[in-house]
Amino acid sequence: MGVIVLETAIARPTADVFSYMRDHSHQMQWQAGHVLTLDVEPPGPAHVGTKVHKTRRTPMGQVSFTEEVTDLDETGRSWTELTTTGGLRGTTVSWQVQEEGQGTRVRLTASMHGRGMMRVMLPMIRRSARDAWESELANLKQLLESESGG
């Protein structure tokens, strides 16, 4: 299947980064280049069972799907999201927000799964997703490190 692992260092306190990222409605800011619509149920900080309905811009066009938070460790500042609808159903994305020196290291680990035609296109989709996540993590870093971030 192939696992994608990406990291970025952010010069902000770990608690601030975790709090910001845990509120999925902020994704419209740092994922603006790719996320077209976003609806979070229920609004506010994520917990196990939070659902995020998204439409993303991809090289294949717009793709709509739902992610659900299936695991959340507030003490360890980590959570996992499972894609529950669409052609990439079964994909998991795990996030870790860890203290590193005086800042924070954010780590994304994704295991992508495809259904139907998406399974055949998975190598291309994986490359595209990796590029999008790299861009989004750079946006997150820039946003949170700016004076107006957070």
Cis peptide, bond prior to residue 45, ω within 30 of zero: no
Report whether pLDDT(150) > 80: no
Burial class (CB in 10 A: 0-12, 13-18, 19+), 136: buried
Q: Mind listing the pLDDT tens digit for each residue in 122-144?
A: 888 899 999 999 999 999 999 99
Q: Mind listing the pLDDT tens digit for each residue in 21-69?
A: 999 999 999 998 899 999 999 999 999 999 999 999 888 789 899 999 9
Instruction: Give the pLDDT confidence score for residue 33 in this predicted structure.
Output: 85
Whether 90 is covered by a domain: the verdict is yes
Q: Do 150 and 20 touch, CB atoms closer than 8 A?
A: yes
pTM as predicted: 0.90
CATH number at residue 100: 3.30.530.20
Instruction: Give the pLDDT confidence score for residue 122 in this predicted structure.
Output: 85
Measured N-to-C along each axis, helices 122-145 and 14-22 cross at an angle, to the nearest 10 degrees, of: 130
Who contacts 121 (Cβ-Cβ below 8 Å, separation ≥6)? Answer: 60, 114
Whether 28 is covered by a domain: the verdict is yes
User: Sorting pLDDT into bands at 50, 70 and 90, what band is 147?
Assistant: low
- Looking at the 3D structure of the chain, how many domains does it have? 1
The residue segments making up the domain with residue 51 are 3-145
Q: Mind listing the pLDDT tens digit for each residue in 57-114?
A: 888 789 899 999 999 999 999 999 999 998 889 999 999 999 999 999 999 999 998 8
Whether 13 is covered by a domain: the verdict is yes
Which residue type is seen at 103? G
Whether 150 is covered by a domain: the verdict is no
| Cα–Cα distance list, 20 to 61, 62, 80, 91 (Å) | 28, 26, 16, 23
Who contacts 15 (Cβ-Cβ below 8 Å, separation ≥6)? Answer: none
